[in-house]
Structure 1
Amino acid sequence: MALTILCVSFTLLLLLGVPVAFSIGLSSLATLLFEGMPLAVGFQQMISGMNPFSFLAIPFFIFAGEIMMYGGIADKIVDFAKSLAGHLRGGLGMSNVLACTLFGGVSGSPVADVSAMGAVLIPQMKKEGYDADYAVNVTTHASLVGALMPTSHNLIIFALAASGKVSIAALILAGIVPAIVLTICNLVAAYTVAVKRGYPAGTFPGWSVVGYSFAQSLPGLFVVVIIIAGILSGAFTATESASVAVLWALFLATFVYKKLTREQLFKAAAKAVKSTGSVLLLIGISSMFGYLIGLYGVAELTGQMLTSLSSTPWVIFLCVNIILFVLGTFLDMAATILICTPIFLPICQQMGMSTEQFGIVMLINCALGLNTPPVGTTQFIGCTIGEVSVGTVMKTIWPFYGGLIAALMMVTYVPAFSMWLPNLILK
């Protein structure tokens, strides 16, 4: 009965439009009251959930991304992407994919990515004659790759949700090849739609221009190298790498690109504080929810339900993907990771999936949720910038969505996509 109260009240609150964090918290408190347990138990779980030292990486990674967004790094990345792909059919769309992918590598946030790249490229694409729905779809789907990049704070959240069963270094390496696969799928979708709609091709500026623009963008892109090399070499931990990313971003924005004013620094800090507060609130409340899920054996019940449907691993993986995708359309990324990891990770491990591979599958599903109504954070930001309705964008989303679903299936059923690089470097 208590588990029924927990699940039903949570679902009803979501349907009533209550924010996700409050839906999770209120349903958890209602369950505690029904059980006659002290409410202090719930608040203790919240505090302990937000208390791990590793979570310091979250505000640092978020702050680094905000500094890079305000510090002129995005402009240099856009220039490099345009010089590299602008001469292809639908060149501005192809450039958009590359720019979003590269900026996602330094920001680690799909939301920051679509905000920064969308503000620059969506109006520019519309001005050049591209349809608004195409510009928005290209930007929002390409920005999702940021969730798999080494600077993504969601990697840290998953590592902690997995209860220490995964190495941060292995998880970071596991996301690199899938990120490339997602980017290729986005490029194919963008090119296919561009050819179908007859978008024009640009003029190749020459390799000297490509080299110069690459040199201009290289200092910003170098943050990814610093993080990976630092963690693998043991020079610093994942938490320390986030603080190094902040220092590098401040150095670039202040002394190299010289675009970061004091006012912009305050804006970046304010946005980082706001985002950090939202994420940590979700983490704390999800910890209370997760405590109740563990208490009532939800993971075991779910495992029994899935294995009663089939004992074939590929069927179980497909069911898990569908559930994660559906939940990702309603829940914030952090909440989905924290709630679903303790439930589905043991099931997938029993079926032969490694923790690192499951983590990447989880992040791709959560990223797809960011671009799917009713929550669809990145899509709503993109539509706002492009001044186009969500309904219009959804009508033409399928080539891009199909590409990402194909990438998800490849990562799910071919372990080498996520495990080849960690096995090569770490073992």
Structure 2
Amino acid sequence: MAEILFPMLFLLLALGVPVAFAMAIAVFTALSLGSTYPNLVVVKEMFAGLDSFPLLAVPFFILAAEIMTGGAITMAVLRLAQSLVGHLKGGLGHANVVSSAMFAGISGSALADAAGPGSMMIRMMEKGGYDRAYAGALTIASAVVGPIIPPSITMIIYAMQDQEVSVGSLFMAGILPGIVITLAVLLANARMSHRRGYASDAPRPPLAEITRVAVYALPALLLILLIVGGIRFGIFTPTEASVIAVFYALIVGMFVYRSLRLRDLPEIILRAALTSAAVLLILGAARAFAWILIIEGIPQFLAETIIAWDLSPIVFLLAVNLLLLVFGLFMDPLPGVMILVPILAPISFAMGIDPNHFAIVVIVNLTLGLTTPPVGSLIFVVSSTVRLKPSVLIMEMPPFFLALVAALLLITFVPALSTWLPGVSGF
């Protein structure tokens, strides 16, 4: 069946069919033409992929993000980012990057960061004299940190595929790598701003002003501490944390910032439901796709082949980096995690690679795929925001992509970035 499955999948992706439908159609075709299994098996596996209590966290975190990333909450975080770095050379670009890092702790999604606060920062940068394409490319790069700093939907899915890690340990493991990625994009923006003369005319705000803005933004930023701290100390599970995040977002939006009204909730819930349905459809199709790989023996064959090569852990990680960067050209992170992690994670564990370290390497790799054509979702989200052709944004991406790859290599070669915090936190 594999000889039908993969060509059909790549053909459908090349034709622009959405990933979930491409995988489902490829599976149906492979079963119909290459096996005696009934097609009902596909439906069974898709439902089995969604029949999971931890997976309930996904729609609730998406709903919490929809509630938190609007109105006064967004502006509070943007003002804090601008007060911290807006006076530097390339200050509005720096504010874009810093605000994305802050929103990563609220949304857990790269696409949500780019579509929400990212779109607002693009408009601010354009008014400040930045080229629109440059602002869009910077937003694409800065949004990568969304699934790395907790909470992260990708990490929840990863923990379901690898029994050696937990959602809590991955949340802790992603904090320092997220900071590394943020610093890498900041350095790239500083270099490009110096070359293009993107100066800042904003004065350095006094400490009292920064403190006032920080206190105003604090309720929004406390969400990450609530989630990670509650999971770490065993107060609630990740699934329960997602529900608490929704109630916390409602309280902050309605009673602290007073930007959320009851009549806004139906539209917010509808948006969250549509996003959740899209994510769960991808996960269900990926489960059916992975089932065919398993019954064909592909994971076992690859595992035996790679182990027979007797690679060192570093060479193996470099090979995984190359594989996932290529895989990310054609596949979004969530199906990538469901298809590849059951194959690669046991091999890495057998080689003595820390499971949290390997998980972060995989997640960062696959997230970078959101910035690369032809499937890179971030490119198309930002393209619609700035009203520019994707090709124009792609031409501006090389300096930022190189910075992201440099951060990936640092995360790969320095395992402590991913293992220290989980270790000292007791995971």
TM-score range, shorter chain: over 0.9
Counterpart of 1:369? 369
* 1:233-248 matches, cutoff 5 A: 233-248=233-248
The equivalent residue for 1:199 is 198
Task: Give the structure 1 partner of residue 24 of structure 2.
Answer: 25
- Does structure 1 retain, via aligned residues, the 8 Å contact 2:149–2:174? yes
Structure-1 separation of matches of 2:267 and 2:323: 37
Q: Which residue of 1 aligns with 2:293?
A: 293
Farther off after superposition, 234-243 or 308-317: 308-317
Please list, as runs of the form range in 1=range in 2, the aligned pairs for 1:227-376 lying within 5 A after superposition.
227-306=227-306, 311-376=311-376
Aligned AA (1:29): F
Q: Deviations over 1:90-146 (max 9, x none)?
A: 111111111111011111111111111122111111111111122112212111111
Residue 98 of structure 2: aligned partner: 98
The alignment partner of 2:374 has SS state of: coil
User: Which residue pairs with 2:215 in the alignment?
Assistant: 215
1:199 is matched by which residue type in structure 2?
Y
Q: CA deviation at 1:304?
A: 4.3
Q: Please tell me whether residue 86 in structure 1 is matched to residue 91 in structure 2.
A: no
- TM (norm. structure 1) is 0.96
Partner of 1:9: 8
TM-fit CA distance, 1:211 = 0.4
**What does residue 58 of structure 1 align with?**
58
Q: Secondary structure at the match of 2:147?
A: helix
The match for 2:131 is 131
Q: Aligned residue for 2:153?
A: 153
Q: Share of identical aligned residues, percent?
A: 36
The structural deviation recorded for 1:220 is: 0.2
Distance change (3 Å), C-alpha of 1:325 and 1:39: same
Higher mean displacement: 139-148 or 390-399 = 390-399
Partner Cα separation in structure 2 for residue 183 and residue 263 of structure 1: 36
Aligned counterparts of 1:213 and 1:356: Cα–Cα separation in 2: 35
Displacement after TM superposition at 1:306 (Å):
4.1
Q: 1:171 matched to which residue of 2? A: 170
- The 1:328–1:245 alpha-carbon spacing in structure 2 relative to 1, beyond 3 Å, is same
Residue number in structure 2 paired with 1:107: 107
Q: Which range moves more in the overlay, 2-11 or 306-315?
A: 306-315
Mapped contact 2:150–2:228 kept (Cα < 8 A)? yes
Alpha-carbon deviation of 1:236? 0.3
Separation in 2, partners of 1:11, 1:267: 36
Residue 181 (1) aligns with residue 180 (2): yes
TM superposition shift of 1:301: 2.3
Give the distance between the partners of 2:220 and 2:262, measured in 1 at CA: 20
Distance in 1 between residues matched to 2:344 and 2:392, nearest whole Å: 35
CA contact (8 A) 1:71 1:254 kept: no
Question: What's the TM-score once normalised by structure 2's chain length?
Answer: 0.96
- Distance in 2, Cα, partners of 1:258 & 1:67: 12
- Please, what is the CA RMSD of the aligned residues? 1.6
Q: C-alpha offsets along residues 262-314 of structure 1, whole Å, 9 cap, x if unaligned?
A: 44322221111011101111111111111111112212222344456662332
State the shift of 1:413 in Å. Answer: 2.0
Contact 2:158 / 2:337 at 8 angstroms: preserved in 1?
Answer: yes
Gaps of at least 5 residues in structure 2 are none
Give the CA deviation at 1:254.
0.7
C-alpha distance in 2, partners of 1:340/1:280?
A: 18
- Determine the structure 1 residue equivalent to 2:47: 47
Three-state SS of the structure 2 residue aligned to 1:88 is coil
| Correspondence for 1:411 | 411
**One-letter amino acid of the structure 2 residue matched with residue 251 of structure 1:** I
Q: How many residues align?
A: 425
Range with greater deviation from structure 2 (44-53 or 321-330):
321-330
Distance, in Å, in 1 between the alignment partners of 2:226 and 2:324 is: 32
Q: Which amino acid aligns with 1:327?
A: F
SS in 1 for 2:87: coil
Q: Structure 2: how far apart are the matches of 1:85 and 1:348?
A: 40
| Matched-pair contact (CA < 8 Å) for 1:150–1:172 | yes
